[in-house]
């Protein structure tokens, strides 16, 4: 797929990703890795009288010998989660998949197996990948602004997470693309074996979910969307 790029380069996507356009059109700079900025402030959970964001994140950068200050977005307020490098693992990329994976595994296992005083009270499940990911990307010379934001999680891919969430909040183009790729009989035969796809796409439950929401005025938190769908008895996982 990436014939013009280094042989060992890779882009990794979550399996709950819908490809919307040609990936060769995306201007990847594989020397500057990055990952998905489509993320909420899920980690760390700041405890009263406990360490704050700066203390927690700096302890992790220091652990792996990484420079910390340049990772921060100084346009964001101190002790606000967006000030600190944090990604969703819906996609990430680098020039050398083996190098990236080796470092990712080392950082994640060390954070899990050897908690520091700053992180020992923090819940790592299911956030461990998102804790290690910014450290890996920063250590390899990447960052939050390495790729123009409009391509991935935008015009070219959609990390939809779960079928009900796709129908609730994604654009008409995403829904139309899903229906188009799910229409051929050979695809339909496979997808119908998975209950959420069967009910959301082919039994029209997805449209019922879609009719519940205004895409221009969605609830601010994903949890609110989930709860509304569950209350209507239309949640599928």
> Are the CB atoms for 76 and 83 separated by under 8 Å?
yes
> Are the CB atoms for 152 and 25 separated by under 8 Å?
no
Query: Buried b vs exposed e over 153-169: b needs ≥16 C-beta within 10 Å?
Result: beebbbbbbbbbbbbbb
- Name the stretches of the chain with pLDDT < 50: 1
Same-domain pairing of 132 and 167 = no
**Residue 167, domain extent:** 161-231
pTM of the predicted model over 0.85 = yes
Same-domain pairing of 188 and 109 = no
4 belongs to a structural domain? no
Same-domain pairing of 19 and 132 = yes
Same-domain pairing of 134 and 31 = yes
pLDDT given for residue 31 in this prediction: 95
117 belongs to a structural domain? yes
Average pLDDT, the chain: 96
99 belongs to a structural domain? yes
pLDDT given for residue 8 in this prediction: 87
From 139, 171, 199, the end of a domain falls on: 139
150 belongs to a structural domain? no
pLDDT given for residue 229 in this prediction: 98
From 109, 139, 169, the end of a domain falls on: 139
């Amino acid at each position: 797929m990436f014939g013009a790029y280094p042989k060992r380069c890779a882009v990794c996507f979550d399996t709950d990703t819908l490809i919307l356009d040609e990936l060769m059109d995306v201007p990847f700079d594989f020397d500057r890795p990055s990952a998905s900025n489509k993320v909420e402030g899920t980690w760390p959970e700041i405890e009263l009288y406990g360490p704050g964001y700066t203390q927690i994140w700096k302890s992790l950068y220091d652990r792996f010998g990484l420079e910390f200050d340049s990772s921060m977005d100084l346009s964001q307020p101190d002790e606000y989660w967006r000030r600190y490098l944090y990604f969703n693992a819906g996609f990430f990329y680098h020039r050398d998949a083996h190098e990236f994976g080796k470092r990712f595994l080392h950082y994640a296992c060390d954070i899990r197996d050897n908690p520091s005083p700053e992180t020992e009270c923090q819940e790592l499940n299911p956030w461990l990948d998102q804790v290690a990911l910014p450290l890996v990307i920063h250590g390899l010379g990447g960052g939050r602004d390495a790729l123009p934001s409009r391509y991935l999680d935008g015009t070219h891919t959609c990390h939809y997470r779960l079928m009900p969430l796709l129908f609730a909040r994604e654009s008409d183009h995403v829904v139309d693309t899903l229906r188009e790729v799910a229409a051929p009989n050979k695809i339909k035969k496979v997808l119908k074996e998975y209950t959420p796809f069967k009910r959301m796409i082919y039994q029209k439950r997805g449209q019922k979910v879609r009719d519940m929401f205004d895409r221009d005025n969605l609830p601010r938190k994903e949890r609110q969307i989930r709860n509304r769908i569950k209350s209507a008895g239309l949640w599928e996982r």
